[in-house]
Amino acid sequence: MVSLQEPLTWRVYVDGAVNQRGSGVELVVVSPKKITIEKSLRLGFLATNNEAEYKALLVGMNMVQKMRGRTVEVFSNSRLVVGQVNGELEARDLRMQGYLSQVRHLQSEFKYFALQQIPRSRNTHADSLATFATSSARSLPWFILVEDLCKPTEMKREKA
């Protein structure tokens, strides 16, 4: 009997960010069982935005690999990184060539690997983590609870 079961594909949304306060790497990893893992890292070195984008991609690929994922789809809003990895753009800068080489090495270890550019509007989850990592104080708690308030608090009027 032949089983035509779909491969267990991991989905990774990556973003890198650089501003006057520092650089950060952000990613959202979604397992085949729909478990979402968020990761936000501050880079302890000076980086360009493109370097941060590559670092985000590498961190995401490493995470999936460590969790024994063999098929992965990665989504990034970086036209440069996606273009270089997909062979549509040339990596001219030596540092970009180094990052591209690392991606190629990791890419070869996956059964299936796809990298797709998406607009920033479709990468808001990773982008919000990017903003958080590069603009927040270093002593923040590890867990942040977010609650949706659907209506304003009703004010009770005092009787005169």
Q: CATH homologous superfamily of domain 9-135?
A: Ribonuclease H-like superfamily/Ribonuclease H (3.30.420.10)
Predicted TM-score (pTM) above 0.85: no
Q: CA-to-CA distance for 84 and 19, rounded, in angstroms? A: 23
Q: What is the mean pLDDT of residues 143-147?
A: 47
Q: Percent of the chain scored above 90 by pLDDT? A: 48
Residue with the two structure tokens 């950060």: 24
User: Where along the chain do its domains lie?
Assistant: 9-135
Q: Give, for 72, the enclosing helix (H) or strand (E).
A: strand 71-76
Minimum mean pLDDT among 64-68, 90-94, 156-160: which range? 156-160
